A and B are shown apart, each in its own frame.
Chain A
Amino acid sequence: MIRKRAALAAMGVAAVALAGCSTAAGDDDGGGGEDGKVEVSMLVNVTPNLTEEFWNELVAPFEEANPGIDVIIQNPGAEGVAAALPRLLAAGDAPDVVQSLPPTPELAPELVDLSGYDWATEGPLAEQYTIDGKYYMAGIGVQLQSLMFYNKTAFEEAGITELPTTLEELDEALAALSAAGWTPIQTGGDWMSSHALQALALPSVVGTDPDWYARMSSGEATFSETYGTFIERYADWVAAGYVPTEALGIQYPDAEQAFLAGESAIYPMGSWFAGTEAAAENPAEIGVFRAPAIEGVSEPAMGANIASPYSIPSSSPVVDEAALLVEFLTTDETAVIDQLIVDGNFRDGYAYETTALGDELFQIVAETPAGSYTPTGEGYGERRLPAGYSEELNTQTQALMGGTPAADVIGAMDDWFAANAG
C-alpha cells in the first residue's frame, strides 16, 4: 500500500501555497551545484502529510552537518514514485535516493546492496524485506494497515458499547450505525477502494492460513476458495448501503476530510491517519480498533509494512553520499521522530508524544505479536503475489462498489491469477 499512497497529496497544496515563496524549493533549477558541492537527488512521494516543505526541512540539518552535500528533493507529481521510477531508470535518469518504494525482485538488481551497513540490516522489518538474503532498503519504522478508525459519537449514537472483535460483531455494529442514520464506512475511489476490502479480508485470510501469500503465488490455492467469502461479505455491505456507491467519486483527501469532519462512522485506513488526525484542526472524536477476523480465528493477521523505505539505485555516481543521507534519515533521532510523527508511524526506541488516538494506536501495537504481521497488497520480501495484483484487486473492488455481483468479481480474480501466476 505504501506505493499507492504515493500518488496522493492534497490539502498540502493549501499549506504549500500559503507558505508561498518563503522557502527555496531547491528542486526547481535542478542543476548547478555551487562550488563543487556533491548533489544527491532524492525522489520522494509528496502526500498531504509529507509536503514538499516537510522534505526540505527534514534534510536541512543533514546539509548543515555535511556542507559538501546538497540534497535535491525531486517530486514525481501526480504520477507517484512507483510509476515514475521505472521510467527514470529506463531513461538513465534515476535519482540517487528513492523514498517509499519497497524493493522487488524486479528492482533489486538495480539497487545498491546495503547488507554491509548496520543501519540497514538492523532497521525495522529489515529482514522481512530481504530479497535472496540481501538488504536493499532501510526504513524509518512500521506502519499498520489493518486498522479501523471510528467516530466515537457515531458509536455512542448507535448504542455500540463494546468495540467489535470479530467480523460478526462488526456486521452488527454496521447495522446499528446504519440504523442510526450514519454512513457506516468511509472509503473512496482511486487507489483507496481496496483498502477497506483488505482490512475486512486479510485478518481472517492470513489469520487462518499464514502461508496464504506463498500458496497463492505458487498457484496451490485459488482466490475463490480463500478470499471468496470476504468478497461476498463486502458485496453484502455494498448492497446494505454500508459502503455507499457514491464513494467511488470521493478522492483520498476528501475521504480523509469527510471522516475528520464527522461525516462517517468507520474509516478503514493505515496508521498514518493518526498523523493526519494529530495535525487536523477540530477533528471529530476518533478512536481506533484492530480490523477483526471472523469468529474462531485465534490470532487475526495484522497488515504491517515498512514506513518510508529508502533505497539507492546502483546507477548513482554518489553512492557514498547517498548512503550517508539514508543513514541520517533512518537513524538520526530527530529526523526519524519527525517522520514518524507526521505519518503516525512507530518504531521501538523512538518515542514521541502522541494524541489520545496515537495512544490507542500504540496500545494496539503493544498487544499485537510481531508474528501476526502480514504484508498487504502484492506483499514484500518472500511473501509476494504476482505484480499487478494490488491494481487488479482495486479495480475489482470498484466493480463491487458499482454493484457487480460478487461471483463475477471472484471469477475475474481467479482468471487474473490464472493469467499471471506461476
Chain B
Amino acid sequence: MTATVTAPPQQPRAPHPPRVRAARRKPLRSRVPDLIMAGPAVLVFVLMFIIPMILAFVLSLTDWNGYSLNFDFIGLENYRFAFKNPRTVDAAIFTAIVALVGTTLCNVVGLAVAVLIAAPGRANTVLRTIFFYPYIISSLIIGFLWSAMLQPNGVANSLLAHVGVGPLPFLIDPTWAKGSVIATILWSSFGFNMILFIAGIKSVPNEYYEAATVDGASRWQQFRAITVPLIAPVLTVNLVLTLVGLLKVYDVVLALTDGGPAAGTQTIVYQILKDSFARSALGLGAAQSVVLLVVTAVAGLAVTFARRSAEQKVAA
C-alpha cells in the first residue's frame, strides 16, 4: 500500500481558492470537534499499534520468558543470538527466497495472464474469476488443501502414478518442500496481481494501440512500448504489496509443511511465534520481530522509491 495512484487521470483536486477566507473563519470553534473526531481512532491505534511496537523493542532487550516476575535487561544479546542461531538464519534466508521468488513469479504470471485476458468478453470474464478465486480463501485453508494433495500418498502422486511417474517428495524433501510452498503461494495469489494489472491495462487509452498498429508495431513491441510504461504505477503497487505480504508469510506454511521437513520451510514469522511463546523466549522473539519490522519497512520503501524514479523516467 503505497502512495501511488493508478493511471486513470487523478480526480480533480478540491477547488478551494474562492473559499479560503470562509474556511479560515472558524478555526477556534472547530478544534474541539476535531479532537472528538480524531481522538478515539488515535487512542485505539496508539494502544494496539504504537505501544505494542515500543513494547516489542523494549522486550527485545530483555531475557523475559513471558510470564516470570523476574527478567533482566541484556542489551543486544538477543539480536546477537538471533544472528548466529542457525534456525533464525535459515528462516531468514528461506523467507527472503519466498519473498523474492514469490514476488517475481506472482507478478510475471499475473502480468502475462492479464495481457492475455484483459480484453472484454465472456470467456475472459470467466477466466478472470477462475484465476482469482483462491485469493478470497484463507491461506491456512489453502495450505491444508495442498498439504492433503501433496502428501506421499496424496492426490498429486496418485495422479502422477496414472501417467507412470514415480511418487515425488513434494513435502518430504526439504528442497521440494520449499518449492511446494512457493508454488502454493503462486497458485493462490497471482490472481490478485493479475486483477490489478488488468485494471491498469484497461486504463490505457485504446487509441495508443490503434496508432501503434497503424505504424506496424508487433504485439510484443506494443507491449514493451505502450503497456509496460503505462502500467508502471500498477507494477509498483503489485511489487510492494506482494513483497511486504510475503515477508510475513506464515499461515500457509503452518498448514502446508508446519515448517518441516528438517526445519527447511520455517519462515521468520513462524520462528517469531514459536520462540515467543512455545519456546518461552519472548525477548528473542521480540528481537526477531524488530528486525522483521525494519526489513519490511526498508524493503517496502526501497521498492517504492526505486519504482517511483523508474516511473518518472518513463513519464519524462
Contacts and interface: CB of A to CB of B under 8 A. Distances in A.
Instruction: Give yes or no for direct A-B contact (beta carbon below 8 Å).
Output: yes
A214 interface: no
Nearest to A416: B86
Interface string A383-405: 00001100010011011011010
A402 B174 contact: yes
Interface stretch (B23-31, B66-74, B97-105): B66-74
A344 interface: no
Contacts of B67: 86, 89-90, 110
Given A398-B260, A404-B262, A246 B172 contact: yes
B86 A399 contact: no
A140 interface: no
A110 B261 contact: no
B279 A402 contact: no
Given A249-B151, A395-B263, A419 B277 contact: no
Given A110-B68, A249-B151, A402 B85 contact: no
A285 interface: no
Nearest to A387: B279
Interface residues of B, number: 31
Interface in B260-284: 260-263, 274, 277-280, 282
A411 to B, nearest CB: 11
B152 A246 contact: yes
B122 interface: no
A387 B277 CA distance: 13
Contact of B173 (A89, A392, A402): A402
Given A249-B152, A402-B172, A387 B263 contact: no
B78 to A, nearest CB: 13
A37 interface: no
Q: Which range contains the number of A residues in contact with the other chain? A: 20 to 34
B278 to A, nearest CB: 4
Interface string A57-95: 000000000000000000000010011001101100000
Contacts, number: 83
B279 to A, nearest CB: 6
Contact of A189 (B65, B172, B274, B278): B172
B169 A245 contact: yes
Interface in B56-90: 65-70, 81, 84-87
B172 A388 contact: no
B251 interface: no
Contacts of A110: 67-68
Contact of B86 (A109, A250, A387, A415): A415
A190 interface: yes
A90 B258 contact: no
A398 B274 CA distance: 19
B313 to A, nearest CB: 47
Interface in B218-265: 258, 260-263
A332 B58 CA distance: 48
Given A106-B65, A248-B261, A90 B277 contact: yes
Interface of B: 65-70, 81, 84-87, 151-153, 167, 169, 171-174, 258, 260-263, 274, 277-280, 282
18 contacts: A83-B278, A86-B66, A90-B67, A109-B70, A189-B260, A246-B169, A246-B172, A248-B172, A387-B280, A392-B87, A399-B262, A402-B172, A402-B261, A412-B86, A416-B86, A419-B84, A419-B85, A419-B86
Given A395-B263, A416-B86, 10 more contacts: A86-B67, A87-B66, A87-B278, A90-B67, A109-B70, A189-B172, A245-B173, A246-B152, A387-B279, A419-B86
